[in-house]
Amino acid sequence: MFTPEGMTCVLIAATKSQMEPVIKEIYRQHLFHIEEFVEKDKEEYEGYRIGTPLPQANETSRELLRLRGITNAFMIQEDEEGPGEKQKHAQLSKQIERELPILEKEVEDLLSRRSRLDTQIKEYEQRIDGLKPFSGISVDLELLRGFQTFSVFSGYVSRTPSLDIPHEIVTSETKKERFIVLVVSNQHRAIAEQALQNTQFRAVPVPDETGPATSRIGYYEGQVLSVKGELEEINRRLDEIKNQHRGFFLACNELLTADVEMAEAPLRFATTGESFIVEGWVPTERLETFRQGIHYATGGKVYVYELDPAEVEEVAPVEYRNVSFAKPTEVLMDVYSRPRYTELDPTLLVSIIFPIFFGIILGDVGYGAILLVLSFGLRRFLKGEEGQRLLKILRNASISSIVFGVLFSEFFGFSLPWAPILFSRHLNIGAHTTGHGPDVTNLMMMAVWIGIIQITLGRVLGMINHARQDHGSHRIKAVMANLGWIMVLWGILAMLWAAFPMPLMPDFTVLQPLVMGLNLSSILGIVLILLGVIFIARDSALEIVELPTILSHVLSYARLVGVGFSSVAIAMVVNFIAIGMIIEPQLESLTAFGVIIIIMGALVFVMGHLGNTVLGLLGGGLQSLRLQYVEFFTKFYKGGGKKYIPFGMKKRFMED
Amino acid sequence: MADAATAVVATEMTVEMIKASQMGMRAIAAAIAVGSTGIATAIAEMVIGSAAVGATAENKDVFGLVLLLTVIPETIVIFGLVVSLLLLF
């Protein structure tokens, strides 16, 4: 529960002739985490080289690439639901050889035709764009170009130019713009240019067409329509292929991906001229099955050797082993860092403590209920394992929020019909405030106690971790240092108890002084602190400068109360503004206008509480997560474990 | 007591007014405690946060670590909050 899945390091050695059956078998079992071989210049690595891919690798990769081209064009996602029944492996391979090339050919033809037609449409549309300015001019376009003695100007102007030279001008006007075609003889060209410049002339080239512009536009529009019809036909055919063969494509993709992964596996092996070695990890529980599988697949021609766990367990990959309640919290652990193989796995602790902290911060039945509904409602929309796990964490957190809401007697900032069972968090906000106001001191003390307990727990776990991981004289020093931290913490507490009476804490000020005005509690405190500091300094003297963190980390738990208060305050302010200030005054003498104001007040109420729910989710989630990451984990947890990724895949669309 | 009475007479304030103004002073003190620590936290988190985003863009694996680094200065504002709550209640 607090340790990851047990792993055994296994070496497989055989002649190269056994390489393919071995790869196939470990891929099928989906148990073996391959430790990649890296070439080094050391003596023990001499003679070993990284392997070369199996001979079929090239062709299979090419095949897969072409298939992916098609599935991309069809926008088929790999994680899509496939057909209900799985296909047989052997049958599928035959089908791939027989049908896939034909299908690929057809799809590629269709796709290239489609892109050709697309460019054609673009070209026609460009031509139409070029012709459009001339649509108001009924002159044959051929008559506007190719003159030797005349110059033709065509373009947009702000007003028709006045010219005192012989010329011919055709104008067409739309609402926004004025388009002209002006013809002058070449000798007057300079004068015409000058005149046009004064009218903000923007030249438009005469299109290379024959006949009046409108008829040409009509012709091209007809062309576009017919090409579009053709396109539709192609798309329909592509859709047909997609719907008919989607399952086949998915299965092919799976099979080819598997083949490529297998063919490229030797790149992770160490090989010599005639033999190969591969090192990796198998869960200890499944080791026997793994061995037998390899034995049967190769007829016993392979040497499987287990390495001594003590020598290699530092680098073992980590697979979580948690009860199902704690499984979703593994996401939060991975965000920080996966535990090392030799380390305690605190997932279960976090899965219990995180919702409790969340509940203390956002202890409100109303907000808890909204988040609970949200965590169930979003299940359908949030795809992927990680999202589902986060929703389960949210579900636990919101249930805890409801429980604490009952204890704090809070419902959207209003109080429930009973007095707070735990401590009151009701602030005196609004016109008719009743009650005694919040019980800040007791709440703060509660938070401090939570801090003291969690930090002590963290240090105890630190002792266990160091005892498990360290060796030699450092081990005992490190364990004692962690004990020292606990002693300093409780020593400070004992001295405080002796000096001040505090609520929710034992009161030792009543004890009789023994020596120099110090009573038993203060003496015990001083001894604990001194011993603790010595233990810490023996491990690392530099750690002494970290001593003030004892105080800051414990006080940091005050955020459980502080952030909670801010959420309560916002809720109560929203209630006061919406109900006390907007709705209630209108209810006293109801008018038609008053109804609108009341609706606005209701809107303020809903928006305010929605905003506060979001804030509460962020505040509650991040703050309680931070308490785990910063205050709790820094006491014992290092992380940095490798994820266990067994070689192989979960087959979804085919079976052996 | 006599001094207080003369003070009340001299400034023409009633005991209720003095109590109210004391409450007001406490509220201002609490506001300064939360406000100034909030600004301090914001400045600290601004620097760390921008560096953290940069680091995450380079390597996504450090997200957990930089989230932790980014929230460390929050302790400052929590202290301010504790002080102000103790002042007010």
- The neighbour count for residue A380, using CB atoms within 10 Å, is 7
- Cβ neighbours for A93, distance < 8 A, ≥ 6 positions apart: A255
| CA distance linking residue A379 with residue A383, whole number of Å | 8
DSSP state of A426: -
- The neighbour count for residue B47, using CB atoms within 10 Å, is 11
Q: State ipTM.
A: 0.71
Compute the Cα dihedral for A24, A27, A29, A32 and give only its sign: positive
Rounding to the nearest 10 degrees, give the CA dihedral for residues A49, A54, A59, A62: -50
Give all strands of the β-sheet with A178-185 in edge-to-edge order: A167-173, A178-185, A150-157, A202-203
Count of positions (residues) in chain B:
89
* Half-sphere exposure in the Cβ direction for A29 (13 Å, CA): 24
pLDDT tens by residue, A303-318: 888 888 777 777 889 9
Question: pLDDT value at position B3?
Answer: 55
Burial class (CB within 10 angstroms; exposed 0-12, middle 13-18, buried 19+) of A634: middle
Question: pLDDT value at position A634?
Answer: 87
Question: Under an 8 A CB cutoff, do A438 and B89 touch?
Answer: yes
A431: closest CA among A570, A584, A600? A584
Compute the Cα dihedral for A479, A485, A491, A494 and give only its sign: negative
Question: pLDDT value at position B14?
Answer: 84
Structure tokens at A540: 């690392």
pLDDT tens by residue, A171-205: 888 778 888 888 888 888 888 888 888 888 888 88
Count of positions (residues) in chain A:
656
- B82/A contact by beta carbon, under 8 A: yes
DSSP-assigned states of every residue in A266-308: GGGSEE-SSEEEEEEEEEGGGHHHHHHHHHHHHTT-SEEEEPP
- The neighbour count for residue A88, using CB atoms within 10 Å, is 13
- Cβ neighbours for A277, distance < 8 A, ≥ 6 positions apart: A11, A12, A13, A37, A48, A269, A270, A271
Pick the residue from chain B with its C-alpha nearest to A428.
B89
| CA distance linking residue B37 with residue A83, whole number of Å | 60
pTM of the model: 0.77
SS3 A154: strand
Question: pLDDT value at position A606?
Answer: 94
Pick the residue from chain A with its C-alpha nearest to B34.
A562
Q: What residues of A are in contact with residue B31 (Cβ under 8 Å)?
A: none
| CA distance linking residue A170 with residue A154, whole number of Å | 9
Give the distance from residue B1's alpha carbon to the nearest chain A alpha carbon, in angstroms.
30
- B67/A contact by beta carbon, under 8 A: yes
- B68/A contact by beta carbon, under 8 A: yes
Question: Under an 8 A CB cutoff, do B82 and A555 touch?
Answer: yes
- A438/B contact by beta carbon, under 8 A: yes
| CA distance linking residue A647 with residue A26, whole number of Å | 7
Mean pLDDT by 10 residues, chain B (89 residues): 52 82 90 94 93 90 78 83 81
- Distances from the Cα of A280 to the Cα of A1, A11, A18, A318, angstroms: 24, 7, 17, 13
Q: What residues of A are in contact with residue B67 (Cβ under 8 Å)?
A: 335, 626, 629
Give the distance from residue A444's alpha carbon to the nearest chain B alpha carbon, in angstroms.
8
Structure tokens at A562: 């502080």
Q: What residues of B are in contact with residue A629 (Cβ under 8 Å)?
A: 64, 67-68, 71
Q: What residues of A are in contact with residue B71 (Cβ under 8 Å)?
A: 622, 626, 629-630
Q: Are A154 and A180 in contact (CB under 8 A)?
A: yes
DSSP-assigned states of every residue in A513-570: EEETTEEHHHHHHHHHHHHHHHHHHHH-GGGGGGTTHHHHHHHHTTHHHHHHHHHHHH
Structure tokens at A306: 């287990």
Question: pLDDT value at position B37?
Answer: 94
Which A residues, 562 through 621, put their C-beta within 8 Å of a C-beta on chain B?
562, 565
| CA distance linking residue A181 with residue A130, whole number of Å | 15
Q: Parallel, antiparallel, or unpaired: how do β-strands A87-88 and A654-655 relate?
A: parallel
| CA distance linking residue A605 with residue A578, whole number of Å | 5
A479: closest CA among A453, A459, A457? A459
* CATH hierarchy code of domain B29-89: 1.20.20.10
Which domains are seen in chain A, by residue range? 7-74+255-318 (3.30.70.2170), 347-422+559-635 (no CATH), 443-556 (no CATH)
| CA distance linking residue A378 with residue A362, whole number of Å | 20
Question: pLDDT value at position B1?
Answer: 47
Structure tokens at A75: 């926008």
| CA distance linking residue A613 with residue B74, whole number of Å | 21
Closest CB from A335, A437, A562 relative to B89? A437
| CA distance linking residue A216 with residue A125, whole number of Å | 12
* Helix-helix angle A213-264:A19-29, to 10 degrees: 110
Pick the residue from chain A with its C-alpha nearest to B71.
A626
- Residue numbers in chain A where pLDDT is lower than 50: none
- B7/A contact by beta carbon, under 8 A: no
Pick the residue from chain A with its C-alpha nearest to B73.
A556
| CA distance linking residue A237 with residue A107, whole number of Å | 9
Which A residues, 494 through 553, put their C-beta within 8 Å of a C-beta on chain B?
552
| CA distance linking residue A484 with residue A529, whole number of Å | 8
| CA distance linking residue A398 with residue A404, whole number of Å | 10
Question: pLDDT value at position A400?
Answer: 94
- B79/A contact by beta carbon, under 8 A: yes
A164 CA to centre of own chain: 74
| CA distance linking residue A74 with residue A253, whole number of Å | 13
- State chain A's maximal CA–CA distance in angstroms: 126
